[in-house]
A and B are shown apart, each in its own frame.
Chain A
């Protein structure tokens, strides 16, 4: 419609509208990308945590923190030992495997953790594994032997005996220059090797293989970092966008439309109906929304859709009714409304087609600025621990961060990401809303 395109042209004259609109478009684009890249079910699976994240470091900073302070924090390295690389020797019923896991390490900072994942055919046959660590200067440090069957995880970082021997935690001690453990450790850069010697019994099956993965956990990960459960925060930041936008938009549309229709109905029919709506509104305005939501979240369900429904239900008889009523009352007496009544337009037609469309333009700015307030409401609920139990949202990231004392522990990025996105959302809609206000309420223009 030409009216819309001309309206858009008017908006272009306001820089805040352009900026706000581009922020909103960016968030919408991000949402679309997220929905395509990480489908809903996958997002839920990922956010549940556990297995998918075992290769990720705990509480790693985002990679860009390296650029900020110039520190050389390592990324995670995964060194795989394929059966093909193995040197194998078959004896009578016994197979000996030698798998060297070689990697270069040249960072100034130590890794954050060291884990070895071993996978053997899961049919109950056992293998015996002996590990030897070789440093760049040729020292050999025996890491002991283990009996394994099936999939195994050898947590080198949590080997207390090794820690006592080295005088430092293993993922520092194994990488450090050999000097006084009382001094601060320095990385010995160069080529490291973990030699894996395995003895497998019962080699009847030719494919009885052993796969080894050495994970040298880094201190930075991705653009968003990871949380205390190794989850990539990016998943939550990305998925929080469509959730926040959908929640804000649905809640704003739901409350505005229902409120508008109810206010208009009350104004048009007047009498006891209007009085009942007004009294109900007055009671509802006094009822505090947040405690009710907290109560429902605690006693019933914290599902985001239940919350959305309750927010809309509580928002119906809100202060908006008073405002819309004041705007609609003079309209009711307008000659053209009387004319519409004279030519036989029904009440519903008058309410929906003549009265409401007249005040819609004035409401659009209010509506636009209403959206982020619902986004914030959802985040506040999540921060209070009433977030959706399954969906990753910005509020839940903040909730986790708070629960883990993120700021006290220096994980500022954990708070910064979701908070920044929340602010961008608020900013985008607010700037657009203010510009729309000037377009639709021309009286403000001269100010």
Chain B
């Protein structure tokens, strides 16, 4: 169980897993050489579970989200690893099968800056209905009817169906985009920074909606965010990313109570808390460039608990209770 491995071991309860990601790598071509934005990322997600992918800007969160659906920009160099959705290998699937069988049928994506993801000259109702027309071949009237139901689900009045995106507030637009993701009742919804452009109250209300939807529809979520506070609302599991790698995956309760990775610990310490006397601290330094990442632990340079072994790259150490950490400190016999 504590055998160090670079990838997660195949789980005994794999049939309970909806999505299994193993060793997913994604690199971009740039003028200064390839950039590995996602580096050997592994995690699994069960049905009805919400996984929060936490990480600071540029750590590869959004690239991970797009790689899961193979919605890759044109400058992608290569993608490797495995993404299995209930046994279906998404990276091996043909583009057409992926489009017809997976996108929005099984996995929906709410993209970053999704408020701009609405066509400005088409009524929002039509846009929410569009995936149904694409995938199920429904008539416009029938699809609009379902769109109205989905509007109710995300808390938008159904008379907004007739409006154009510019007639809606940011929060409303975000809900519309969410409705668009939910309209085909996918198994998994990936939310890439869904609330980062919204005010705190709207954020909270949308997070509450998501929680409600998760309970009612049994949808799984992958929520990608940099906002520790907001993410704690929804999370069942937390994956913390740093410089393209997942450094810690854990149950949410455990993660927020007792993070193991030094980066996780410093991150939690940087979050201001209401009933706490100490000032929140910050993490000095900057994440390493992904063009030429350091050979050893990527956090070593900023790590307060750096030691001799950190020049070697740490493998993923499995800890009890679906908990994995990429840090030498988590090695068997190491102290945390």
- Interface residues, chain A, CB within 8 Å of chain B? 270, 334-336, 338-346, 349, 354, 357-358
Q: Is B24 an interface residue (CB 8 A)?
A: no
Residues on A with beta carbons closer than 8 Å to the beta carbon of B209: none
Given A338-B71, A354-B119, is A344 in contact with B114 using a C-beta cutoff of 8 Å?
no
Which of chain A's residues has its CB closest to B99's CB?
A344
Residues on B with beta carbons closer than 8 Å to the beta carbon of A334: 116
A336–B119 touching, CB < 8 Å: yes
Residues on B with beta carbons closer than 8 Å to the beta carbon of A349: 134
CA distance A108 to B54 in the complex (A): 103
Can you pick out 9 interface pairs between chain A and chain B where the beta carbons lie within 8 Å of each other?
Answer: A335-B117, A339-B118, A339-B177, A342-B69, A342-B71, A342-B111, A344-B104, A346-B99, A346-B134
Given A335-B116, A336-B119, is A343 in contact with B111 using a C-beta cutoff of 8 Å?
no
Q: Is B74 an interface residue (CB 8 A)?
A: yes
Least Cβ–Cβ distance between A341 and chain B, in angstroms: 6
Residues on B with beta carbons closer than 8 Å to the beta carbon of A342: 69, 71, 103-104, 108-109, 111
Among B99, B109, B114, chain A packs the most CB atoms within 10 A around the CB of B99
Given A338-B71, A349-B134, A358-B121, is A344 in contact with B105 using a C-beta cutoff of 8 Å?
yes
A343–B131 touching, CB < 8 Å: yes
Given A344-B100, A346-B99, is A339 in contact with B114 using a C-beta cutoff of 8 Å?
yes
- 16 new A-B contacts at CB < 8 Å, known A340-B130, A344-B134: A270-B74, A335-B113, A338-B111, A339-B117, A342-B71, A343-B131, A343-B134, A343-B180, A343-B184, A344-B102, A344-B104, A344-B105, A344-B135, A346-B134, A349-B134, A358-B119
Given A342-B69, A344-B103, A344-B134, is A336 in contact with B118 using a C-beta cutoff of 8 Å?
yes
CA distance A242 to B130 in the complex (A): 41
Which of chain A's residues has its CB closest to B181's CB?
A343
Which of chain A's residues has its CB closest to B184's CB?
A343
Residues on A with beta carbons closer than 8 Å to the beta carbon of B117: 335-336, 338-339
CA distance A200 to B134 in the complex (A): 88
Least Cβ–Cβ distance between B2 and chain A, in angstroms: 39
Residues on B with beta carbons closer than 8 Å to the beta carbon of A335: 111, 113-114, 116-117
B104–A343 touching, CB < 8 Å: yes
Least Cβ–Cβ distance between B101 and chain A, in angstroms: 9
Which of chain A's residues has its CB closest to B127's CB?
A336
Least Cβ–Cβ distance between B106 and chain A, in angstroms: 10
Least Cβ–Cβ distance between A308 and chain B, in angstroms: 33
Least Cβ–Cβ distance between B26 and chain A, in angstroms: 16
Which of chain A's residues has its CB closest to B103's CB?
A344
Residues on B with beta carbons closer than 8 Å to the beta carbon of A346: 99, 134
Which of chain B's residues has its CB closest to A337's CB?
B119
Chain B 150-192 against A: per-residue CB contact (8 Å), 1 yes, 0 no? 0000000000000000000000000001001000100000000
CA distance A354 to B119 in the complex (A): 8
Chain B 182-213 against A: per-residue CB contact (8 Å), 1 yes, 0 no? 00100000000000000000000000000000
Least Cβ–Cβ distance between A50 and chain B, in angstroms: 58
CA distance A315 to B118 in the complex (A): 34
Residues on B with beta carbons closer than 8 Å to the beta carbon of A343: 103-104, 108, 130-131, 134, 180, 184
Least Cβ–Cβ distance between B228 and chain A, in angstroms: 26
Least Cβ–Cβ distance between B98 and chain A, in angstroms: 8
Residues on A with beta carbons closer than 8 Å to the beta carbon of B71: 338, 341-342
Least Cβ–Cβ distance between B191 and chain A, in angstroms: 12
Least Cβ–Cβ distance between A36 and chain B, in angstroms: 39
Within 8 A of A (CB), among B281-309: none
Least Cβ–Cβ distance between B205 and chain A, in angstroms: 23
CA distance A270 to B111 in the complex (A): 23
Residues on B with beta carbons closer than 8 Å to the beta carbon of A358: 119, 121
Least Cβ–Cβ distance between A316 and chain B, in angstroms: 26
Residues on B with beta carbons closer than 8 Å to the beta carbon of A344: 99-100, 102-105, 131, 134-135
Residues on B with beta carbons closer than 8 Å to the beta carbon of A270: 74
Among A335, A343, A344, chain B packs the most CB atoms within 10 A around the CB of A343
CA distance A277 to B131 in the complex (A): 31
Residues on B with beta carbons closer than 8 Å to the beta carbon of A357: 121
Least Cβ–Cβ distance between A335 and chain B, in angstroms: 4
Please list the 9 inter-chain residue pairs (A to B) with the smallest Cβ-Cβ separation, ordered nearest first.
Answer: A344-B103, A339-B117, A335-B116, A343-B104, A343-B131, A336-B119, A335-B117, A344-B99, A344-B104
CA distance A342 to B116 in the complex (A): 14
CA distance A341 to B109 in the complex (A): 11
CA distance A334 to B119 in the complex (A): 9
Chain B 240-258 against A: per-residue CB contact (8 Å), 1 yes, 0 no? 0000000000000000000
Residues on B with beta carbons closer than 8 Å to the beta carbon of A354: 119
Residues on A with beta carbons closer than 8 Å to the beta carbon of B103: 342-344
CA distance A170 to B327 in the complex (A): 121
